[in-house]
Structure 1
Amino acid sequence: MIDLAIWNLSVPVGIPAATIDTPRLVGGYQDGYFRSGNTLFFWAPVTGSRTDNAIYPRTELRETYANGAVHNWVYSQGDNFLRAALTVDQVPSTGKIVIGQIHCYGSTEPLIKLEYQYKEKLKSGNIVVKFRLTPTSEPEVIQVATGVLLKERFTYTIHLTAAGNLTVNAHEMQWGAKLDPAWSGKPLYFKAGVYTQDNTGYATEGGAATFYKLQATHDKKA
Structure 2
Amino acid sequence: MSRALYILLTFSILLVSCKELSFHNEQKSTGDSGTKTNVPVESESQDTTNTEDTSNSDKVTEIDISDTTPLSCNGSYPITIVSAENITTGTTDANLIHLYDGDKTNDSHWQSENKPQEIVMQLNNKALLKDFVISWQKQDVYNYFEIASSLDKENWQPLITNGQSKKNYIIADKLSLNTNQQTAYFLKLTLNGNSLNNQSGVIEFEAFGCHQDTQHDIELIDWYLSVQTDEDGNGKSDSIKESTLSEGYEDPRFFYVSEDEGLVFSSTIKGYKTSENTSYVRSELREMLRKGNSSHKTQGVNKNNWVFSSAPQLDQNNAGGVDGILNVDVAVNHVTSTGEDYQIGRVIIGQIHANDDEPVRLYYRKLPNNDKGSIYIAHEILDGDDSYYSLIGSRDNSASNPTNGIELNEKFSYQIKVVGNELTVTITKENGDVFSKTVDMSKSGYDKGGQYMYFKAGVYNQNNSGDLHDYVQATFYKIENLH
Per the normalisation by structure 2, the TM-score is 0.43
**What residue is the counterpart of 1:97 in the other structure?**
347
**What residue is the counterpart of 1:60 in the other structure?**
284
Matched residues in 1 for 2:323 and 2:305: separation?
14
Matched residues in 1 for 2:466 and 2:392: separation?
28
Task: Determine if the alignment matches structure 1 residue 183 to structure 2 residue 446.
Answer: yes
Task: Determine if the alignment matches structure 1 residue 73 to structure 2 residue 298.
Answer: no
- The partner residue of 1:46 within 249, 269, 272 is 269
**What residue is the counterpart of 1:165 in the other structure?**
422
**What residue is the counterpart of 1:131 in the other structure?**
379
Asked if the contact 1:5/1:26 (under 8 Å) is kept, the reply is yes
Distance change >3 Å, CA 168–CA 138, structure 1 → 2? same
Asked if the contact 1:23/1:68 (under 8 Å) is kept, the reply is no
- The partner residue of 1:140 within 387, 401, 411 is 387
- 1:157-215 per-residue CA deviation (whole Å, 9 max, x = no partner) reads 00001x22110001320000111352013101100000000123334311100001111
Q: Which segments of 5 or more consecutive residues in structure 2 lack a partner in the other structure?
A: 1-216, 299-303, 310-315, 317-321, 338-343, 394-404, 429-433
Asked if the contact 1:21/1:68 (under 8 Å) is kept, the reply is no
**What residue is the counterpart of 2:257 in the other structure?**
36
Deviation at residue 68 of structure 1 after TM alignment: 5.4
Asked if the contact 2:306/2:323 (under 8 Å) is kept, the reply is no
Q: For residue 211 of structure 1, give the secondary structure of its aligned residue in structure 2.
A: strand
1:157 corresponds to which letter in structure 2? Q
Matched residues in 2 for 1:51 and 1:68: separation?
22
Matched residues in 2 for 1:111 and 1:183: separation?
8
Asked if the contact 2:307/2:323 (under 8 Å) is kept, the reply is no
- 1:46-78 per-residue CA deviation (whole Å, 9 max, x = no partner) reads 022211011101000001121154322111153
Larger radius of gyration: 2
Matched residues in 1 for 2:391 and 2:370: separation?
17
- 1:56-107 per-residue CA deviation (whole Å, 9 max, x = no partner) reads 01000001121154322111153410110100001113100000000012x1
- The partner residue of 1:83 within 321, 327, 338 is 327
2:407 corresponds to which letter in structure 1? L
Deviation at residue 129 of structure 1 after TM alignment: 0.3
Per the normalisation by structure 1, the TM-score is 0.91
Matched residues in 1 for 2:353 and 2:378: separation?
12
Q: For residue 244 of structure 2, give the secondary structure of its aligned residue in structure 1.
A: helix
Q: Which segments of 5 or more consecutive residues in structure 1 lack a partner in the other structure?
A: none
Matched residues in 1 for 2:219 and 2:257: separation?
10
Q: For residue 25 of structure 1, give the secondary structure of its aligned residue in structure 2.
A: helix
Matched residues in 1 for 2:256 and 2:272: separation?
19
Q: For residue 200 of structure 1, give the secondary structure of its aligned residue in structure 2.
A: coil
1:102 corresponds to which letter in structure 2? I
2:367 corresponds to which letter in structure 1? K
Matched residues in 2 for 1:190 and 1:49: separation?
21
**What residue is the counterpart of 2:223 in the other structure?**
7
Asked if the contact 1:11/1:18 (under 8 Å) is kept, the reply is yes
Matched residues in 2 for 1:12 and 1:35: separation?
14
Identity, % of aligned positions = 32
Asked if the contact 1:34/1:43 (under 8 Å) is kept, the reply is yes
Q: For residue 243 of structure 2, give the secondary structure of its aligned residue in structure 1.
A: helix
Q: For residue 245 of structure 2, give the secondary structure of its aligned residue in structure 1.
A: helix
- 1:32-53 per-residue CA deviation (whole Å, 9 max, x = no partner) reads 2101373111010002221101
Q: For residue 377 of structure 2, give the secondary structure of its aligned residue in structure 1.
A: strand
Q: CA RMSD in A?
A: 1.5
Q: For residue 148 of structure 1, give the secondary structure of its aligned residue in structure 2.
A: coil
